[in-house]
Structure 1
Amino acid sequence: MFEIDTLIGSNERISSPCNKRASGLAPEEGYTKMDVKYPKARALLFEALRVLASSPESIQTRLIDATESLLSVTIDEFAGDPELTIKFARILDLIAVDRGDVEATAVETAAYMSDAQAGLIADLVCDFLYEIA
């Protein structure tokens, strides 16, 4: 049922910016304020990431709770960047294959995922937010 198994082995962990320590630079030392791209998507993805990271519930429950924010982001927001469009479409496909009621499908799908499958989606969300931030 899940394509995730083909993306990650049962005991394999993917390497992502969210799994690594920060560079150690304080914001005032290494960054400058610039125009923000994709402000709505960034806010919604940050909200989803906060839900994924801040609850003592199972990863599946946290993913279910994050789906509202994730599904509020539209692919059209990334229309100017085909690579981002494809990456975000991949996340949506893993959460809920488009068949009817996407929100209900996402809840049903997440409820039956293994920890590794749900963790992979959480990592992809984190990586995607890192990329657009």
Structure 2
Amino acid sequence: MIYVILLTTIVLYAVIAIAIHFRKALHNSNSHQINIQIFRTLFLIVSVNIGGYYLNYFQVLIIIPKLGNDIMAIRKWNQIVGILLNVSAASNAPILYFTSTEYRNAFNKEWQTIIKLLSFCEIAAATSIEQI
């Protein structure tokens, strides 16, 4: 089931990439540069995500059968590959942060809001402790 979702994601990203590629824009225009940046970002996101799933697939087909009945080794490899798979699946935000100025500005704005909220919670907690 997960591979059907993965293949659907790949197809959707490929359709978006094709649409961006055939979009009419002059080569020297700002729109063309934005299209190239979008294409590169999508390609990087898809490559990292697919790489994580193929690493998991490689582990299931190659590594685990070679381990035989060694349960502890299988568990160790499952944890290692599982962590790498989760990192690859969660890589969208860091990739967008480093490749897009708009996303970087939005992330920075939200981080400032989160820091203010956390600072307010710390002040409120300290105030309530002093009142007791």
Which one scores higher on RCO, CA 8 angstroms, separation ≥ 6?
1
TM-score by length of 2: 0.28
Structure number with larger C-alpha Rg: 2
Q: Say which structure is richer in helix.
A: 2
